[in-house]
Each structure stands twice: as C-alpha cells, then as structure tokens.
C-alpha cells in the first residue's frame, strides 16, 4: 500500500516501453527513486506479451523518421541486452516474398528503404534461393533480411524490472495498480485503486490508454487511439515442418498493416497471422468482446469513420477472415500452397493501439511529448518493442532537459 514516500519519477505502464524507460533512467541515475505502476497482475500483459515476438530490422519505415532511427538503434541494443542477460532470442533472418509480378516494384522499394536505414546483407533472391531458405515457400522473388529475428519480449520486460530493483532497491515495481486520475504540482498525486502515490515527475507509457491519460493532463491531441484486434492461427505439429523461421508477404502500402505472415516463436511453436479488425473493446482479445465506452469513443471520432470508408473493402475481407478458417488459410496458401486445414489451428490474439488522425490517417511514427512536469509516450506502434531501449533513451533525454535529473538527490 502507498506510504508517505515521494518518488522522483513515477512511470505509468508496465509494458516493455515503460520498463525500458525505467531501466534507462535508473542505469544513468542510480540515485533516483522510481516507481512503475501497472494495472494488471503481471508486467507485459497487453501489447508486449501479445505481439509476434519479432526483432524488426527497420525495413519498412521511412528513412530518417523517428521510427526508423529508433528501430535500427533499438534492434542493436535489444540483441546485445538479450545476449548479456540470456534472454531467449535468435537472429534467424526473414524473407519477404513476392508471389506475383505486380509486387516486384514494391519489393525493390522495401530493399531500398532497408539500405537507407543501414541494414546489412539484405538482397533480392530468386526462387532457388527461396527454396534453400524455406523449402515449402513459393514465390517469384524474395528479399532476404539476415538481421531480423525473434525474441521473448516478456522475458526482456521482466529482466528490465529485475535490474531496476537491483540498481536501486528503493525503487518499486507495483502491479495490480490502476491509475484513476492525478493532480499535478511540485509533488504530483496519482490516485489509484491501491491508494495515492506521490512523485515529483511523471512519465506515461500507457499503450492502449495513452490518449486518455494525455487528455487528463490537458495535452493537445491531434489523434485518438483506436484498437484493432489481430487473430493468429498456430501451425500444428505437421504444419510446423513447413516453416523454418520468418516469412512475410510484400505489404500493400495502401493499407496500414503488413499482412498475414509466418513467425517461428522462441518456444518452438509457429504462428501465422495476424488479420486486422476493429475491436469493440480496447483490451478485447475475443471476437465478441465489447466495452460500451471504448466503442462509443471510437465510433464518435470522425477519424475512425474516414479510415473505414477509405479501406472498407480491405476491412470487410479482414472481418470475413476473422470468422473463417478457410479464408484465413487461403491467404496463407499464397506463400505456402501446400498448407491444409489440418496444418493450422486457432491461436491467440492481440490488440494494436492504432493512432488515428481526424482525417482517418494512421499516425505511424513514434510520438513523445512533454507537458508540465510529465512526459507522454503518445504513440509507439510497431516496432516499439524492438526499439524499446532506444525509446527509453529518447524519454531520458527529454527528462534530462525538463526534469533536472541531476538535482533530484
């Protein structure tokens, strides 16, 4: 339970970005007393623990963007971190497969992006080389990306929490602690279900709820978080023999998703997916989950409807796949024609926090803002998990500028 203790910084959100931020702050400023408040019983419960576990290379992101720069830096940092702390990971590489001639110009564009973002060893490969890497995959050409890989992001998050406590035992990681509201001041008060916590400064890494907490802090927003659920299928034991590592389609740039892909996980299983459908609950992982407030907020926002109208054919196809194993399989068979209904079984799902502008545009770059003794990570889309340590660096730089960290002794 809360005491009269006043923390130097409270971080709201116990996902990988929140813990990476705490770790970066605690490592450079070991004297700081930090608290991480997480509303669930365990860390990494939502987006961190429900993503595909891929170490992204920086292939798809606009060169020079916040997202691209932090992905490249973050990938190097998280691989080094995993090696140092024995976190399950494998830099196994991936292929991005073109299945028809129309996709070849887009494949080349992706390759150019990768080169500009500093990726090493990427190359366009032919059908023979595709078969050497993934014997069951069919494509006319593919892009080989050797620096992509897989990792246990939940394991990373828990290790970051452990290290924060090891550096300063006075810092706290507090779970089952839901922030209701807060009052700002020289000493801010954070009101939670467990009681009131006090802190000199605040950092919000709230993922699916980032916009709501920002509005409570009077941050001027040009976006709103809208949840999109992604459903996965798992390959059965027989199906797993057909995929070795990571296999992606060439994404359509008109749509804000990468398309269904195959991912070998660190536990040895293989997932395929996800699709992308509007969810009626921000933390709704089942197809029929519903929350009245979440739904009304999303549907009263003009950006949601503009996105729907812009991509209604795509959205309709995604919804059909969400309720049809046969249609989901049809999409997978574009790259792996030998897959059958017996090779796949229903798997888990996740929800991505998509930041939408009021014109229905997807805000795809990272967005971090300072607001009167607090910092808000407003938008951290994929590859935020890969880039978490680099994002932590960015938050720390902002905190150094605005919080006067050296004086907090």
Enumerate domains of the chain plus CATH numbers: 6-48+154-223+365-407 (3.50.50.60), 94-146 (no CATH), 224-245+253-362 (3.30.9)
d(CA 287, CA 289) in angstroms, rounded, equals 6
Place of tokens 């705490």: 22
Mean of the per-residue pLDDT values of the chain: 94
Q: For residue 3, is pLDDT > 80?
A: no
pLDDT (tens digit, 9 = 90+) per residue, 309-320?
988 888 888 888
pLDDT at 253: 74
pLDDT (tens digit, 9 = 90+) per residue, 38-92?
999 999 999 999 988 999 998 988 898 989 999 999 999 999 999 999 999 999 9
- Mean pLDDT across 345-374: 93
Q: For residue 138, is pLDDT > 80?
A: yes
pLDDT at 216: 95
CA 327 to chain centre: 26
Name the β-bridge partners of 37.
Answer: 12, 174
CA separation, residue 230 to residues 57, 245, 304 (Å): 21, 20, 17
Q: For residue 408, is pLDDT > 80?
A: no
- Mean pLDDT across 135-156: 97
CA separation, residue 191 to residues 16, 91, 188, 278, 323 (Å): 23, 42, 10, 31, 41
402 sits in the region (left: phi over 0; alpha: psi -120 to 50; else beta) called alpha
- Mean pLDDT across 123-135: 97
- Mean pLDDT across 216-242: 94
pLDDT (tens digit, 9 = 90+) per residue, 242-260?
999 999 999 987 766 778 9
Q: For residue 409, is pLDDT > 80?
A: no
Q: Higher pLDDT residue, 1 or 249?
A: 249
Q: Is 165 exposed, middle or buried (0-12, 13-18, 19+ CB in 10 A)?
A: middle
């Amino acid at each position: 339970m809360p005491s009269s203790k006043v923390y130097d910084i409270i971080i709201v959100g116990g996902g990988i970005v929140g813990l990476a931020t705490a770790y970066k702050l605690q490592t450079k400023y070991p004297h700081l007393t930090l608290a991480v408040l997480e509303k669930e019983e365990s860390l990494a419960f939502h987006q961190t623990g429900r993503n595909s576990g891929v170490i992204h290379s920086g292939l798809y992101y606009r060169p020079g963007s916040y997202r691209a720069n932090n992905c490249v830096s973050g990938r190097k940092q998280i691989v080094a971190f995993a090696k140092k702390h024995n976190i399950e990971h494998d830099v196994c590489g991936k292929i991005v497969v073109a299945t028809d001639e129309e996709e070849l110009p887009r494949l080349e564009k992706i390759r150019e992006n990768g080169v500009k973002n500093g990726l090493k060893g990427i190359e366009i490969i032919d059908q023979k080389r595709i078969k050497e890497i993934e014997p069951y995959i069919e494509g006319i050409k593919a892009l080989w990306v050797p620096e992509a890989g897989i990792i246990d992001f939940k394991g990373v998050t828990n290790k970051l929490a452990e290290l924060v406590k090891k550096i300063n035992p006075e810092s706290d990681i507090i779970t089952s602690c839901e922030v209701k509201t807060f009052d700002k001041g020289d000493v801010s008060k954070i009101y939670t279900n467990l009681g009131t916590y006090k802190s000199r400064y605040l950092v919000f890494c709230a993922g699916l709820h980032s916009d709501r907490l920002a509005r409570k802090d009077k941050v001027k927003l040009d976006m709103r978080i809208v949840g999109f659920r992604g459903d996965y299928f798992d390959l059965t034991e027989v199906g797993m023999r057909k995929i070795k590592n990571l296999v992606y389609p060439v994404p359509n740039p008109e749509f804000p998703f990468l398309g269904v892909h195959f991912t070998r996980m660190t536990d040895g299983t293989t997932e395929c997916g996800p699709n992308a459908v509007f969810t009626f609950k921000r933390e709704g992982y089942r197809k029929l989950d519903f929350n009245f407030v979440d739904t009304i907020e999303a549907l009263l926002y003009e950006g949601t409807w503009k996105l729907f109208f812009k991509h209604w054919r795509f959205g309709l196809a995604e919804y059909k796949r969400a309720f049809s194993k046969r249609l989901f399989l049809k999409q997978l068979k574009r790259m792996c024609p030998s897959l059958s209904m017996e090779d796949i079984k229903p798997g888990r799902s996740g929800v991505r926090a998509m930041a939408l502008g009021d014109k229905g545009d997807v805000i795809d770059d990272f967005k971090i803002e300072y607001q009167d003794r607090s910092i808000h990570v407003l938008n951290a889309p994929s590859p935020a998990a890969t880039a978490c340590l680099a994002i932590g660096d960015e938050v720390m730089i902002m905190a150094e500028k605005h919080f006067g960290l050296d004086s907090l002794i």
